Amino acid sequence: TQTVSQSDAHVTVFEGDSVELRCNYSYGGSIYLSWYIQHHGRGLQFLLKYYSGNPVVQGVNGFEAEFSKSDSSFHLRKASVHWSDSAVYFCAAANTGGADRLTFGKGTQLIIQP
């Protein structure tokens, strides 16, 4: 069974702190990984993706993620969070190398304290 696991339902940090949101996957073969952000009551917005090449990928608004085949992980990081980063973050994966068959994790709510 192909799964995407986000072990933290909630992460709380202070504004200006660094943060890492964890994502682990269980897939065989080539994998396509991505992160999306959902602000309260809104649709999802794409942050970044990985399919091949450099395992560290840069996204919008200072986010980056690192692919690790040995750890089956694709963790999302940001060096210094802003209050506007408060949202739910979804990790998603697919085998096809594209977005057609994305499986989403359960999401991690990032809470930024002032």
Q: Parallel, antiparallel, or unpaired for β 56-58 and 44-50? A: unpaired
User: Would you state the structure tokens that stand for residue 76, as one six-digit string?
Assistant: 């999302």
CB of 79 to another protein, least distance (A): 23
Residues found in the chain:
114
97, 29 Cβ separation under 8 angstroms:
no
84 contributes a contact to another protein by CB under 8 A: no
* Residue 112 parent element (H or E): strand 108-113
CB of 27 to another protein, least distance (A): 16
- Cα–Cα distance for residue pair 99/79, rounded to 1 Å: 27
49 contributes a contact to another protein by CB under 8 A: yes
Is the C-alpha dihedral spanning 10, 91, 20, 27 positive or negative?
Answer: positive
CB of 33 to another protein, least distance (A): 11
13 contributes a contact to another protein by CB under 8 A: no
Binding-site member from 67, 90, 93, 112 for another protein (CB under 8 A) = 90
Query: Looking only at residues 24 through 43 of this chain, which bind another protein when binding is defined by CB under 8 A?
Result: 34, 36, 41-43
Interface residues with another protein (CB under 8 A) are 34, 36, 41-46, 49, 90, 98-102, 104-107
